[in-house]
Amino acid sequence: MFMGEYQHTIDEKGRIIIPAKFREALGETFVVTRGLDECLFVYPRSEWTVLEGKLKALSLMKSDARAFTRYFFSGATECELDKQGRINIPNNLAKHAGLEKDCAVIGVSNRVEIWNKHTWENYFQQSQEGFNEIAEKLVDFNFDL
């Protein structure tokens, strides 16, 4: 399980350090793809395989399913850590997430997310303001804290 928030920078070559606490759980190779809310999703191979199966099960007859599958898979790239614990973010993915210099790397249960620091701070602030309302809605999904 991934959890926590870490601040890192992306260098001029597009490399970012993955927090040491995440490295073992990600494994030797893992998948980075476009995420939702202007971030990148990073999946260990085992989680990627589960997600891939769910996306394959979507009906090709539905245009939304085709569009989302294209969006998700076309941005996916296999990554591995270098000796310093960094990965190289391809330009198209860095552009999608607006990664420039300061970044937030966060753990979200079964995945890691990489955010532009300012985008993350804005998103977190907005989410924090509505956290109680969101929690109340989760009760509808039989979720209780």
- Quick: pLDDT tens for 85-106: 999 999 999 999 999 999 999 9
Q: Write down the pLDDT at residue 139.
A: 74
Counting as low any pLDDT under 50, the low residues of the chain are none
Q: Which SS3 state, helix, strand or coil, does residue 4 take?
A: strand
In sequence order, what are the beta bridge partners of 114? 40, 105
Q: Write down the pLDDT at residue 141.
A: 73
- Domain residue limits, the chain: 2-141
Q: Write down the pLDDT at residue 145.
A: 57
Q: Which SS3 state, helix, strand or coil, does residue 130 take?
A: coil
Q: Write down the pLDDT at residue 144.
A: 58
Which of 3.60.15.10, 1.10.10.10, 3.40.1550.20, 3.40.640.10 is the CATH number of 2-141? 3.40.1550.20
List CB contacts of 5: < 8 A, sequence separation 6 or more.
104, 105, 106, 107
Q: Write down the pLDDT at residue 88.
A: 97
What DSSP string runs through 62-117? SHHHHHHHHHHHHT-EEEE--TTSEEEPPHHHHHHHT-SSEEEEEEEETEEEEEEH
